[in-house]
Amino acid sequence: MTINDVARELGMTKSTVSRALNGYPDISESTQLRVREAAQSLGYRPLANAQAIRTGRLRAIGLVLQLNEHDRHRPFLADFLAGISEAASAADWTITVATATSDEDTLRLLCKLADEHKADGFIVPRTLWDDRRVTFLREAHVPFVLYGRTGNSDGCAWFDIASETATQNAVELLHDLGHRRIGFIPGGRQYTYSRLRLEGYKAGLKRVGIPFDPDMVSRSALNPDEGGEAVVQLLSLKQPPTAIVSSIDRAALGAYAAARKCGLQIGSDISLISYDGIEEGELMTPALTTFSADVHLAGVRLTELLIKRINGVPPEALRELRPATFVARQSHGPMTRTPEEIAAIVSRAKNKVEEKQ
Phi, psi for residue 157 in degrees, rounded to 5: -95, 145
pLDDT at 52 over 50: no
Tens of pLDDT, residue by residue over 92-111, are 899 999 999 888 999 999 99
Cβ atoms within 10 Å, residue 33: 11
HSE on the CB side for 320, CA within 13 Å?
16
pLDDT at 124 over 90: yes
Q: Are 242 and 268 in contact (CB under 8 A)?
A: no
Q: Are 75 and 291 in contact (CB under 8 A)?
A: no
By the 10 Å C-beta count (0-12 exposed, 13-18 middle, 19+ buried), 104 is classed as: exposed
pLDDT at 49 over 70: no
Collect all residues with Cβ–Cβ distance below 8 Å to 259 and sequence separation of at least 6: 231, 235, 265, 266, 269, 270
pLDDT of residue 78: 86
**Quick one: average pLDDT of 43-66?**
69
pLDDT of residue 42: 86
By the 10 Å C-beta count (0-12 exposed, 13-18 middle, 19+ buried), 134 is classed as: buried
DSSP, res 212: P
Give residue 70's pLDDT band: very low, low, confident or very high (50, 70, 90).
low
CA distances from 113 to 72, 97, 108, 279 (A): 22, 10, 9, 34
Nearest to 244 by CA among 274, 220, 224: 274
CA 254/CA 237 separation, integer angstroms: 18
Quick one: what percent of the chain has pLDDT higher than 70? 94
Quick one: what percent of the chain has pLDDT higher than 90? 73
pLDDT of residue 325: 97
Select, from the ranges 88-97, 254-263, 346-355, the one with the highest average predicted confidence (pLDDT): 254-263
Q: What is the mean pLDDT of the chain?
A: 91
Q: Are 230 and 170 in contact (CB under 8 A)?
A: no
pLDDT at 149 over 80: yes
Write the single-letter amino acid at 313.
Answer: V
HSE on the CB side for 104, CA within 13 Å?
0
Give residue 339's pLDDT band: very low, low, confident or very high (50, 70, 90).
very high
Select, from the ranges 21-25, 76-80, 340-344, the one with the highest average predicted confidence (pLDDT): 340-344
pLDDT at 54 over 60: no
Parallel/antiparallel/unpaired status of strands 319-322 and 289-292: unpaired
Give residue 14's pLDDT band: very low, low, confident or very high (50, 70, 90).
confident
Q: Are 207 and 256 in contact (CB under 8 A)?
A: no
DSSP, res 238: S
Tens of pLDDT, residue by residue over 285-306, are 999 999 999 999 999 999 999 9
pLDDT of residue 77: 83
pLDDT of residue 263: 95
Q: Are 149 and 196 in contact (CB under 8 A)?
A: yes
Tens of pLDDT, residue by residue over 202-245, are 999 999 999 999 999 999 999 999 999 999 999 999 999 999 99
Collect all residues with Cβ–Cβ distance below 8 Å to 355 and sequence separation of at least 6: none
pLDDT of residue 355: 73
pTM, full prediction: 0.82
